Structure 1
Amino acid sequence: MQKPGGGNDLQTSPLFAVEGVSVRFGGVRALEGVSLEVAPHEVLGVIGPNGAGKTTLFNVVCGFVSPAEGELRLRGERIRDLRPHQLAGHGIARTLQGLGLFERMTVLDNVMVGADRLARAGFLRGLLGLGHRDDARLAAKAREVLGELGIESYAARYPGSLPYPIRKKVALARALVAEPELLLLDEPASGLSAEEMTELGEIITGLTERTAVMLVEHHMDLVMSVCHRITVLDFGRVIAAGTPEEIRNDPAVLAAYLGESVDDPEVPTGSTTDGDVVSTGSTTRGEEA
């Protein structure tokens, strides 16, 4: 995979910031004082063992969970009472672990669903008979994004008839068609082969020309290859933040991944302890908070 370049050229002013966010579910502390920043055109990785709070953090960013403390800022402005349906309006798009494609809609129609931010038809334009112009424009945009990902030939197909890696690309195309400033990728490498993961890494690296990326991923080889910076969570707290090299050699990160749980029988035998945090991205604790 191509190592991300231009790390020193990233703009210093953050595009998006999480500031002191805490989340509690009853007596369970899912996040505690979590802060991080994403610069324009940067790939920020968020990693940590299962139960570290990665999914909870993504759900806060997407408006599915309201924090007990802390705030979110986009372009320096505080985002108040964010709701999932408002993401596109703020220039944020997300892919889901479960893909979330509509099985009874074609690939093209699925991708067009993600273009709400670009649509201008609305009720009044519909009454004036102008909506079809937007439909044609959005369809053209959807085909363009599908072409960029090499899957335009599947535009008329239905998701259920496609191989899993192609469906993953359809989900990514649906997020990209809205032209987001911040793209949230939730476990994009899950279910992919080594060759497909290499291609995914190249795609993510290329995306920084148009958007910033916040990546939650278990596969450390992918994370280390594409991320400019990495934030590490453990038990709901940030335990480390820095460049891939800094994270790779951080004692707190090594302990979180490989400490007392290294002999856990559920850890795949492909995991290693010889310098990399983990080679397979497998984790050693219970379900994600």
Structure 2
Amino acid sequence: MSGISVAFGGVSALSDVSLTVEPGQVHGLIGPNGAGKTTLFNVACGLVRPSAGRITWRGRELRRLRPSQLSKLGISRTLQGVGLFAGLTVLENVMVGAHRHAKAGFVSALLALPTADKDDRLLRERAHAALAELDAEGYADRYPGSLPYPVQKRVALARALVADPDLLLLDEPASGLSEDEMHELGELIRSLSARMSVLLVEHHMDLVMRVCDRITVLDSGEQIAAGTPAEVQADPLVTEAYLGDAVDVEADAAELARTDGGTHA
């Protein structure tokens, strides 16, 4: 995304923000409350149309990007909430995320043709494998509403991973998780970079600093810093945005690295 600007009712939400996620990279997007993180994430998802700027994917500009296009482009996303279908089982919810790999069309499924049966079997296998990767296969036949929130988060992540995307967009995946669960999530995100790129929007600073290769920092809709975790931690503009008026850069950076970001979004 380059030169992205967004205005709502004349109020600027983003101003000339640029961000590039490289292949095999975990790229963090952080900032205090009202920084514009969610707006930029929604631009990447096609939920918000920028008033200026360009979105480019694999060298091709995406004009009028829509959420329905993401799967075919090789992009998956999670939501701040879990966004699971209450009337479908866990397995069926994950199968929904694998539909880009289906070869049979709607008519074949409607008429119960052999190609549709084969598709169903393959999608189920994919869904089981995605759940197993997240240690959630034992919940396959349960309904989301009967599961603890952290398990629902794993199911939602499995639904995004089952599409085998080239780019995974994660919106606050650590919310509602315990310290141990957050550590497991960090290990998973790092392992994912071997087969896909990740754009991570998160307010838990310890997780961001541990798993990200590069970080972009927003404040009041503007990009104030970008670089490696070490470079971002040492940037006085970043510590000032999070902690108020800077007093001692080294002390502030250490505090930023220690905080779990619980009061920041």
Task: Report the TM-score range of the alignment, normalised by the length of the smaller protein.
Answer: over 0.9
Q: Report sequence identity in percent.
A: 61
Q: Deviations over 1:41-78 (max 9, x none)?
A: 10000000010000000111111110000010111110
Equivalent residue number for residue 277 of structure 1 = 256
TM-score by length of 2: 0.94
Partner of 1:153: 138
Instruction: Please show how residues 66-85 of structure 1 align to structure 2 within 5 Å.
Output: 66-85=49-68
Q: CA deviation at 1:112?
A: 0.3
1:239 equivalent in alignment to 2:219: no
Partner residue, 1:39: 22
Mapping of residues 165-176 of structure 1, within 5 Å: 165-176=150-161
Task: Give the gaps of 5 or more residues in structure 1.
Answer: 1-17, 263-271
The TM-score with structure 1 as length reference comes to: 0.86
State whether structure 2 residue 92 is matched by structure 1 residue 109.
Answer: yes
Corresponding residue SS for 1:121: coil
Alpha-carbon offset, residue 162 of structure 1:
1.1
1: CA distance between counterparts of 2:205 and 2:20?
20
1:61 corresponds in structure 2 to 44
**Is the contact made by 1:96 and 1:186 (CA closer than 8 Å) also made in structure 2?**
yes
| Paired residue secondary structure (2:55) | strand
Query: Does the 8 A contact of 1:102 with 1:110 survive in 2?
Result: yes
Q: 1:25 — aligned with what?
A: 8
Q: CA deviation at 1:261?
A: 11
Matched residues in 2 for 1:156 and 1:205: separation? 29
Native 8 Å contact 2:89 2:140 kept in 1: yes
Comparing both structures, which one devotes a greater share of its residues to helix? Answer: 2
Aligned partner of 2:171 in structure 1 is 186
Give the residue type in structure 2 aligned to 1:134: D
Q: What amino acid sits opposite 1:184 in the alignment? A: L
53-62 or 126-135: bigger deviation: 126-135
Post-superposition offset of 1:273: 4.4
Question: Structure 1: which 4+ aligned runs deviate by more than 6 Å?
Answer: none
Q: Distance in 2 between matches of 1:190 and 1:80?
A: 32
Root-mean-square deviation over aligned CA pairs: 1.7
In the alignment, what sits opposite 2:35? 52
Q: Is the 8 A contact 2:240 2:246 kept in 1?
A: no
Q: 2:231 is aligned with what amino acid?
A: E
1-side partners of 2:130 and 2:95: how far apart? 10
